[in-house]
Copies of this chain bind each other. A is one copy, B any other.
Amino acid sequence: MLRHIDAEIQNVKDAVLKMGGFVEKALQATREALLFGKPELIDEVRAQEKEINALQMKVDEMCVQLLAKQSPVAKDLRFVISVTKINTDLERMGDQTLNTVRYGLEFFGAEENVEIPEDLKKMFDVVIAMVRLGLDAFAKNDNKISREVLSQDDEVDQLKKSLFDLAKKKMDTREWSIDSGLKFVMIAKNLERLADHVTNVAEDVIFSTTGEDIRHGQGQPSAV
């Protein structure tokens, strides 16, 4: 039997996936803007970030309505709670993507002849792959995919560290100005934080599907 609540849950899910699609597109545009020298793409990122903000408010409102009118329990309730959190994460990811392209364009604008560091390309690849996987895990309520997302966080931390070290060296030798070095650090920092938010999404999918709260390494089951 198809319950009325199923349709509403599907609507919420669609809206979240739409939001996630904008995040992915914004991140792709950022990658292209910075790695292939297409600064004009910042306008796309700005437009996508606005869409994300509008959807955040819509999704929150949908969740409130669903809770008020359907009084969901068990798995449905956990889904709605997870979405209110995932929603916040996606919105922050929109902000961080915009920060990334902003800092990046300033950096590459000031350091015109810089060769694009391999680890920056890698970091974009890993973070974009994580975002895709995170959204896929959410779309399919799939814990295995969620765990795959979690397993990639270490690589991101390593890449961030390597990019920080690179910036320090370039600032130390004055090959880059201090100002440029700091901007480069902020690119790496924002990409790392994007990965952190995807990690949150994956944890929320696990909570939503199993009732297990794995944050802080606890693995504490929910009674609901």
Contact = CB atoms under 8 A, between A and B. Distances in A.
A2 interface: no
B64 A68 contact: no
The quantity of this chain's copies bound in the complex is 2
Given A85-B84, A179-B168, A182-B168, A77 B64 contact: yes
B164 A64 contact: no
A77 B67 contact: yes
Contact of A64 (B53, B56, B179, B224): B224
Contact of A171 (B65, B171, B220): B171
Interface in A33-68: 53-54, 56-57, 60-61, 63-65, 67-68
Interface string A64-80: 11011001011001100
Given A185-B182, A222-B64, A224-B68, A56 B168 contact: no
Given A65-B224, A85-B88, A224-B65, A60 B213 contact: yes
Contacts of A224: 64-65, 68
Contacts of A54: 216
